[in-house]
Structure 1
Amino acid sequence: MTFSFRAAAIVLGLTCCWADPLSLESGLSSPISVFPASISYGLHFSTWDGRKSCRPREYRVAKAEEDVVEIIQRVAKEGEKVKVIGAGLSFSGVQLADDDVGVMLSLDGMNRILSVKGTQVEVEAGIRLRDLCERLAADHGLALPNLGATATQSIVGAASTGTHGTGTELGAIATQIVRLRVVDGKGGVHETSETEDAELFRAARVGVGAVGVITRVTLQAVPLWKMQFTSFPYSLTNLLKDLPNLMSQYKRLQWSFTPFSDNATVLVREDVPWDTPIDPPGPDGGCWSKTQPTRPTCTDLSYKTLTDSQQQYKSRKLYTEMEMFVPVEDSRKAIEDYVAWIDTVRDQHDPAVSVSVMVRYVASDDIFLSPMSGRDTAVLSVIVAGDRQQSGDPGEFESFSKGLQGVCETKYKGRPHWGKVNWTRLTGQSWENQNLFLREEKTPEYLRRAYGEENWDRFQKVMQRMDPQGMFVNSYLRERFFANEERIQRNSVIVE
């Protein structure tokens, strides 16, 4: 499973194994699963890397849109909050319910393909990307134009946080949505597209859970095709010089480098004719091969070259990641600045800790709070890896991630990934991080400037219309949207 709830014996100070949900009849239009809470036992949710957690008052799994409506209407009468959970893969607090007061609502029971008309596919919000890709390919000969590195996410969870793949002419996953249905904070159902309530459509596709509960989306798919995946080593020094040519040559360019070295790796994916054989060959071949988990090249159906298999996902080491989005024309200089900053913390770095930096590219869109809104974008990621039991060293991660965020925000109007770790200021004070002086603005003030005042204000108007009581606003969103309201303090001025 990608997320679980643990029954913790608070009174005895013990932690039990992951519990299976109880199936309860709740008066909803279909049965749902609930983990009961009591004085002795409380619900506990952890993100997949174990670095974030919350204790929702209640956990529910909706099986249909009617369930979502009934839950929201009941919670609204109680004056409580709802936080929707997808696959639990976000590293940030965007998915966390407020402790002891929130209802965490899973859409895992809403995982059907509802209709396929030509190349447009209507699906329920909880369907996982890997399941969707496999079923589209096998049953309809269709594929999604682009995917991120893992397909364990739900379609709406991935879209709502601005998740993306790589491709200079390809948008984020949210741009594949051409129509959607969303339930507001009073239980009302809205259907929206570019031509029907366009303001809601531009807000909800990357809605960070703030404008309602999306229950279904219609996606623009494409005919299934094949690609060849290739990776090859490169000198970082030469790569930065060759970057314009590489970006011109490879439309799906991705690359990474290891700090404190000149070692880089380039990853590319290129279309090949349909009759190109799967490579490596055999029933267990291709890019999801179990016998060749690491390979410099492979050929397969498009989605298998873009994202991971279930086995590959389960075998991954835990890690923690943050991403910053900068204008593509500034990307080379931003990378050079970050490399220079990295050199200033060489003496504080533990060589035993695995740190890598990855760069991808995404096309511009017009979605209000998409990190790609209004500009072609380069995505700079820093990853600190751990092992199968725990994610990377938190001190190293804090240093490298604050450094990246500082470089990108100070000079390049960088936008953080909503679903990856990002750092906020609650008081407006600046903070220093190894020779890097960061802004004094409060986080909402900076984000409004980075996204553009018009986009930010239009999103907040939709947010107010769809959720006037703030039912969907958790601590993470309060810290980023509301500069003048009291916020939950956590140990220090800086929280993430």
Structure 2
Amino acid sequence: MTANSWENWSGSVQAQPAQIASPRSEAELAQLVTQHDKVRVTGAGHSFMPLCETDGLLLRLDNLEGEPTIAEDGKSAWAPAGWSLAKLTQWLWDRGYSLPNQGDVNPQSLAGAISTGTHGTGADLGSLATIASGFRLMLADGSVVECSPTGNESLFQAQRLSLGLLGIAITIKIDILPAYHLEEHLEAIPMDALEERWDELAGEYRHVEFWAFPYADTAILKTLQPCDECPSPTKTTDMDEKAFALYCKTVARMPKLTASLQRQIMKQMKSSERRGPAYVIFPSDRNTRFEEMEHQLPRANGFAALRTVIDWIRREKLPVSFPFEYRLVAGDDIWMSPFNNGPCASISMHQYAKMAWRDIFAEAEAIFRDHGGRPHWAKRHTLAFDDVQRLYPKADAFRSACLAADPDGKFANPALAELFQLGDRSS
């Protein structure tokens, strides 16, 4: 075997796997899995935590044979777990279907998005993990099992948000909807007015979110609403990516300009609209590299947490380059989901990848935790085993399911083995 280099999308997580492989068949996948003591799977590398890090076998499943199969009633489909959301949503659209919801980027694999609780926005819409109702998994011995609410139930419940710790998802049964179109609208709005109108907006629109620069008093409100059938727009993003990249490079060189440039950006903000197929409108271009931390808070605590962290940034004059992203997500009953306490406000904090972020994120994380926040598993956090036990009532059940499915910890890398106290945590 020869060493291979791998890094995540932002470049902050690197690994030297013994082998990187892209199997084309289940037989080839089983052979690879049984030949290695340590195995992880990677998709687009959009995790900011070391979820894919391994010195063993690193698998890519985007070339695995097979296509989705749609149920006769048109309400669900078995989809290849390694397909990107971009590929899957295009395939579904061509056959008259859409996903119930999406986030604002689409290169992630279906399995990666589901197994980390990735989400979009919508007060009545859960994370992508909530649309999964069945899994075909390859276990550590190369065998394949199926799990659902009515078969291998404990395995299914753990697998719904699994971080890849139980096995390798080959296909996933997901909910789908008849294809629909969306109208996107962006506008600048004072933060005070936005907070006052927030519940009204959340009830009026299927999707509502906003971005708030820490040094500006206005925010960018974004709404998405189903609309009549229309062609795809010529514009593929909700923002001027080139202008934002230039701004980031400027504040990286001259951090003292951060506050004034953010206020200037918001003064120049103009309203805009796009209309088109849902799978085209949901994602936008996000090419400026960043680090990200995200917390899910009880919905009632969202604005207080955001105000507190912004006040702290202003008081300390910290050069936080990106705006905060504020979304709504419905509650769920998934064991390891940060949304299983009920409806949540989701607050994402970003920093340009070429600027310092570790100390800033650590301080902000404490603020979010004080407001009842639980972190997104794939984004920067400092949770330890005791934190997981305290925050997740079903943590012991999840750990037991992991040990039952993979007693030797083949699918647990050192970071995850330590976090959940699984297998050998030394390699």
TM range (shorter): 0.7 to 0.9
In the alignment, structure 1 residue 87 sits paired with structure 2 residue 44:
yes
Superposed CA offset, 1:174-206 (max 9, x none): 111121111122222210111112211111121
Whole-Å separation in 2 of the counterparts to 1:451 and 1:405: 18
In the alignment, structure 1 residue 477 sits paired with structure 2 residue 408:
no
1:392 is matched with 354
CA drift of 1:292 comes to 11
Query: SS at the partner of 2:68?
Result: strand
In the alignment, structure 1 residue 105 sits paired with structure 2 residue 59:
yes
1:304 is matched with 280
1:132 is matched with 88
The 1:190/1:278 distance shift into structure 2, 3 A limit, reads: same
Whole-Å separation in 2 of the counterparts to 1:403 and 1:291: 30
RMSD: 2.4
Identity of aligned pairs, percent? Answer: 26
Whole-Å separation in 2 of the counterparts to 1:257 and 1:197: 44
Letter in 2 for 1:445: D
The 1:343/1:481 distance shift into structure 2, 3 A limit, reads: same
Alpha-carbon contact 2:409-2:423 (below 8 Å) kept: no
Query: SS at the partner of 1:300?
Result: strand
Alpha-carbon contact 2:48-2:291 (below 8 Å) kept: yes
Whole-Å separation in 2 of the counterparts to 1:298 and 1:398: 36
Whole-Å separation in 1 of the counterparts to 2:209 and 2:326: 6
Say which of 387, 398, 405 aligns to 1:459.
398
Whole-Å separation in 2 of the counterparts to 1:88 and 1:115: 26
Whole-Å separation in 1 of the counterparts to 2:323 and 2:158: 33
Structure 2 residue runs of 5 or longer lacking an equivalent are 244-270
Alpha-carbon contact 2:326-2:348 (below 8 Å) kept: yes
Alpha-carbon contact 2:122-2:202 (below 8 Å) kept: no
| TM-score, normalization by structure 2 | 0.87
Structure 1 residue runs of 5 or longer lacking an equivalent are 1-35, 386-390, 425-442, 489-496
Larger relative CO (CA 8 A, sep 6+): 1 or 2?
A: 2
Whole-Å separation in 2 of the counterparts to 1:475 and 1:254: 36
Alpha-carbon contact 2:136-2:146 (below 8 Å) kept: yes
Say which of 361, 372, 396 aligns to 1:401.
361
In our comparison, the structure showing a higher alpha carbon Rg is 1
| TM-score, normalization by structure 1 | 0.75
CA drift of 1:357 comes to 0.7
Superposed CA offset, 1:70-96 (max 9, x none): 222222xxxx21111112121110111
Superposed CA offset, 1:445-477 (max 9, x none): 11221122xx10110111001110011111221
Aligned positions of 1:48-447 closer than 5 A: 48-75=9-36, 80-97=37-54, 99=55, 102-110=56-64, 112-117=66-71, 118-138=74-94, 140-274=95-229, 277-278=230-231, 285=234, 287=236, 296-308=272-284, 312=285, 316-346=287-317, 349-350=318-319, 354-385=321-352, 391-393=353-355, 395=356, 397-412=357-372, 414-424=373-383, 443-447=384-388
Query: SS at the partner of 1:94?
Result: coil
Alpha-carbon contact 1:415-1:451 (below 8 Å) kept: no
CA drift of 1:288 comes to 6.0
CA drift of 1:210 comes to 0.8
CA drift of 1:487 comes to 5.9
CA drift of 1:64 comes to 2.2
Aligned length: 398
Superposed CA offset, 1:248-294 (max 9, x none): 222311111011221311110011123xx4475xxxx3656999999
Aligned positions of 1:2-41 closer than 5 A: 36-37=1-2
Alpha-carbon contact 1:287-1:299 (below 8 Å) kept: no
Whole-Å separation in 1 of the counterparts to 2:6 and 2:18: 11
Alpha-carbon contact 1:278-1:286 (below 8 Å) kept: no
Letter in 2 for 1:49: S
